[in-house]
Amino acid sequence: MKVKKTLLFLLLSALLIFTAGCNKNAETEIPEDHVSDKLIVTDCLGREVELPENVDRVGCLYAFTGHVTAMLGRGDDIVAINNGLSRDVLLNMVSPGIEDNPVVYFSGKLNIEELLKAEPDLLFVETPFAQTEAEAAKLDKFNITYIAIDFNNMEEQMTAIQTIGDALGMTEKAREYNQYYQDCIDRVSQVSAEIPQDKRVRLYHSVNEATRTDTKDSLAADWLEKVGVINVSVNQELKFLDGKNFASLEQILLWDPEVILVNESGVGEYMLNNSQWASLKAVKEGRVYQMPIGISRWGHPGGMETPLAILWTAKTIYPEYFEDLDMKKETRYYYKQFFNYDMSDEQIERILQGEEKRKPKGS
C-alpha cells in the first residue's frame, strides 16, 4: 500500500511540472488538471528553472526578450531593462513606458544594486551573460530567478519565443506568433524552391558595419537560404572579433555580389559613394538595399521580425516570383496582429525605407 501511495505521489508531482526550452526537440505540454502555479521551464542552456508562483515583474537584460515580452502583451510588467530597450523608438510607441524603467545592464555591465531595487520576479538574460561565472554568481547570491535565451537559426528562435511565452503564462500567444513565423517561411520557400540555380542571386549581407557579415551557422544565413539567394559569405573564412564576424574589403571585391543588403542606416550610402566599393556589380547597378527597421532591424541576429525580413527580401530580390506579395499590407497586419498597434501609412513607409528607429547610444 505504501508503495502505491509513493507511486501516486510521484505521478501527481510530474503532472505539476511544466517544461519547455530552447532545445528544438523539447515538447511543451500543459496538464489539463493544472492545479499549481509552479512552473519549471528549461532555458537555452538546458537549466531547469523553477519559476515563482507569480511572475508580475519582469527584467529584460537582452533586448530581444523585451521585444518578445511586449509582443506577448506583458510590456507593462517590464521593470528593468538594458540600454538597447531604452533606445528602441517604435517599441516604446507600441508599448509605452518601457524606456522609463531603470537601465540595469549597459555595455556588458550589470548594476546589481539597481536591479535589486526593481525587484523582478523573473529576469531574462542572454546566454553569454549567464555563462559568465561572476555575473551569474550575483544573481544566485540574491536568489534572482533568471532564464537564459539564445538562438542561432529560425527553429531555435521560435523555440526561444515559445520559452519566453511559457515563462510568462502566454503560451498560446507565443504559439500564434510562431505559426505565423512558420507560415512566412513556407510561403517563401515553396516559391523559391522553384527558382533555377542559374537565376539565383549572389548576395552580400552587411550587419551593422559594412564588412560585418554572416557565417554558416547564423540566423541570417538561415532565412536568406529560404529566400533562395546565394549568400557569398557563408562557408568562407572570416575574421572573428568581439563575437562578430568580418570579411575584408578585398574578399568582398572578389565575391563581387550582384546584390547587397544592409541593415544599418547610412551604410548603403557609404558603399554607393565610396570609391573603394565602386567596382562591385551591386554598386554599379545600384542594387544596394537598406533593410527595413521596425521594433528591431528586420532579420538582425538579435531581432524578432525575422518573418517580415523573409517576406521583404523575397519581394525585393525576386519581384517577378512574388508579384502578389504586398509589403505594406504585410507590415500593417504584423504590428496590428502581434502588437495591437495601428500603423499609419507614413509609419509603414518609414519602416520599409529603413529610416533609423533607434536613439543614439548613451541617450
Burial of 140 (0-12, 13-18, 19+ CB in 10 A): exposed
Residue 99 confidence (pLDDT)? 93
Residue 21 confidence (pLDDT)? 60
C-alpha grid cell, residue 271? 558603399
Sorted by where each begins, the domain ranges of the chain are 52-176, 178-353
Residue 242 confidence (pLDDT)? 86
Phi-psi region of 256 (alpha: psi -120 to 50; beta: other; left: phi over 0): left
Residue 357 confidence (pLDDT)? 66
| CB neighbours of residue 275 within 10 Å | 6
For 178-353, the fitting CATH number among 3.80.30.20, 1.10.10.10, 3.40.50.1980, 3.40.50.720 is 3.40.50.1980
Distances, alpha carbon 182 to alpha carbons 160, 175, 269, 321, 323, in Å: 14, 10, 33, 20, 21
Do 165 and 55 meet the contact criterion of CB atoms below 8 Å apart?
no
Do 300 and 277 meet the contact criterion of CB atoms below 8 Å apart?
no
Do 142 and 121 meet the contact criterion of CB atoms below 8 Å apart?
no
Rounded to whole angstroms, the Cα distance separating 130 from 136 reads: 5
CATH architecture under which domain 52-176 falls: 3-Layer(aba) Sandwich (3.40)
The continuous run of DSSP H or E covering 181 comes out as helix 171-192
Whole-prediction pTM: 0.89
Helices (H), 49-170: 63-71, 83-87, 89-94, 112-118, 127-130, 133-141, 154-167
Do 160 and 149 meet the contact criterion of CB atoms below 8 Å apart?
yes
Residue 355 confidence (pLDDT)? 85
Phi, psi of 116 (to 5 degrees): -65, -35
Residue 204 confidence (pLDDT)? 98
Residue 359 confidence (pLDDT)? 67
Q: Which residues of the chain have pLDDT under 50?
A: 1-20, 25-35
Residue 5 confidence (pLDDT)? 40
